[in-house]
Amino acid sequence: MNASGNGAAADLLVADRDGVRTVTLNRPHRKNAMTWAMWRELADILRDTGMDRSVRALVLTGAGGAFCSGADISVPDARHPMDKMRIFSDLALQLHELPTPTVAKVTGVAVGAGWNLALGCDLVVATPDATFAQIFARRGLSLDLGGSWLLPKLVGLQQAKRLTLLAETIDAARAESLGLVSWIVAAGEIDEFTADLANRLAAGPPVALAQTKALLNEGADATLREALAGEARAQGVNFATADAPEAYAAFAGKRTPRFTGAWSLPPAGSGKDE
């Protein structure tokens, strides 16, 4: 799969290997600031990823030593502001609801919508020199790309207000202490670390992981009763796949399980168990 952007080189690069899809923001001369065409194209890539069962994990990263400096406001665009925000909303929902586990690999800057793009991923790996800023207030803007929903849930309301109202720039260590970075890894080791992490996610039970991700996302706004009901429904689906029996068999055989997510119930009309 390959995504192309405007100009001689593709603005979004997509590479698949061993069940892991890596999407690279590829405008290093602008610290990977995103044009509106790129935001929309990335939403399409995420939509396609969610429908592709061969993709078991997704890594989102940036080229040239930066993650993403947000939206490129220097590129003229005649779209109505509400149309632009619909593009943002579509992308934020695609990322949040993607059944595939996602990892943001952050080097250099992650600013504004670029930082919220990373926060929308399930896990964040950053180098020690990575810096983060909810820069919107400095641009006369308020939060977008889901930041108003993500930040209070991740760091609490007061810290979210501090990060956004003051538009402070923080380093990777501070971000990790706030729970906004999962791991800090040296620049020379981050590629190998992230590849191993993505491979571990890709080797997991895809249906169970997708449901766990959804349960956690939904659980943030659910009552205990609603969360328990969701867990019961999810486990019923898990037991209908080949992965739960495979896990037990692998444990008994002292081997590594081979998860596929395959449906194990007989098809309708097969005559079995009728």
Per residue in 30-68, pLDDT (tens digit) is: 999 999 899 999 999 999 999 999 999 999 999 999 999
Closest CA to 104 of 117, 85, 87: 117
**Residue 154 in this model has a pLDDT that exceeds 70:** yes
- The dihedral sign for the CA sequence 144, 1, 76, 112: positive
Question: Crossing angle of helices 206-219/81-97, nearest 10°?
Answer: 120
Distance CA 210, CA 56 (A): 10
Average pLDDT over residues 216-237: 94
Average pLDDT, the chain: 92
Give 15's pLDDT tier (boundaries 50, 70, 90): very high
Give the residue-averaged pLDDT of 197-221: 96
Q: How far apart are CA 45 and CA 56, in angstroms?
A: 14
Would the pLDDT of 227 be above 70?
yes
What structural domains does the chain harbor? 12-202 (3.90.226.10), 206-253 (1.10.12)
DSSP string, 117-132: HHHTSSEEEE-TT-EE
Dihedral of CA 233/239/243/247: which sign? positive
Would you say residue 145 has pLDDT above 60? Answer: yes
d(CA 161, CA 152): 8
Q: Examine the pLDDT at 271 and tell me if it is beyond 80.
A: no
Helix axes 206-219, 224-238, angle to 10 degrees: 170
